[in-house]
Amino acid sequence: MSEKSKKSAAQIQEELLAKAIENTVALNPLVGVSTDDIKSAVKKTAKQAAAQPSKVLRYSKRFGRRVADILKGTDEYDDAIKDRRFSDPSWEENVIYRKLKQAYFAWDESLDELVDDLDLDGLDLRRAKFVKEVLTTSMSPTNFLLGNPKALRKVVETKGNSLIKGLKNYVNDLQHNHGMPSQVDKSKFRVGVNLATTEGSVVYRNEQLELIQYRPRTSKVYRRPLLIVPPQINKFYIYDLTPEKSFFRFCLEQGFQVFVISWRNPVAENRDWGLDEYVTAASQAIGVILDITRSKDLNVVGACAGGITSSILSSYLKETGRNVVNSLSLSVCMLSMKSKDTEMSVFTSPSSLQAARIRSREKGVLEGPELSRVFNWMRPNDLVWNYHVNNYLMGEAPPAFDILFWNSDSTNLPAQLHCDFLDLFEHNLLEEGEMEVLDTTINLRTLDCDKYVTAGLSDHITPWKVCYQTTQFVGGNIKFVLSSSGHIQSLVNPPGNTRARYYCNEELPESPDIWLEHAEQLEGSWWTDWSEWLKERSGERKTAPRNLGNRNYPTMEAAPGTYVYS
Q: How many residues are there in the chain?
A: 566
pLDDT at 378: 72
The mean pLDDT values, 10 residues at a time, for the chain of 566 residues are 46 55 48 61 76 83 85 66 85 92 90 86 78 89 96 96 96 88 92 97 98 98 98 93 96 98 97 98 98 98 95 97 97 79 61 81 87 74 89 93 88 93 86 93 96 93 92 97 90 90 97 97 97 98 97 98 96
Smallest CA-to-CA distance from 533 within 470, 481, 492 is with 481
Strand partners, 440: 437
Domain ranges (residues) in the chain: 22-147, 200-345+411-565
The set of residues, in sequence order, having a beta carbon less than 8 Å from that of 287 and lying 6+ positions away, is none
CA angle (329, 331, 333) in 5-degree steps:
110
pLDDT at 66: 83
The set of residues, in sequence order, having a beta carbon less than 8 Å from that of 258 and lying 6+ positions away, is 200, 213, 214, 225, 226, 228, 248, 251, 252
The answer to whether the bond into 560 is cis (omega within 30° of 0) is yes
Q: Return the amino acid letter for 228.
A: I
pLDDT at 236: 96
Query: For domain 200-345+411-565, is the CATH number 1.20.1260.10?
Result: no
pLDDT at 346: 61
Would you call 449 a catalytic residue per the annotation?
A: no
pLDDT at 18: 56
Strand partners, 453: 330, 480
pLDDT at 96: 93
In order of 28, 273, 336, 348, the CA distances from 426 in angstroms are 15, 20, 11, 8
Among residues 304, 419, 449, 467, the one annotated as catalytic is 304
pTM of the model: 0.88
According to DSSP, residue 519 is labeled P
| Radius of gyration for the chain, computed over Cα atoms and rounded to the nearest angstrom | 26
DSSP state letters, 17-37 = HHHHHTT--TT--S----HHH
Rounded to whole angstroms, the Cα distance separating 243 from 198 reads 7
pLDDT at 2: 42
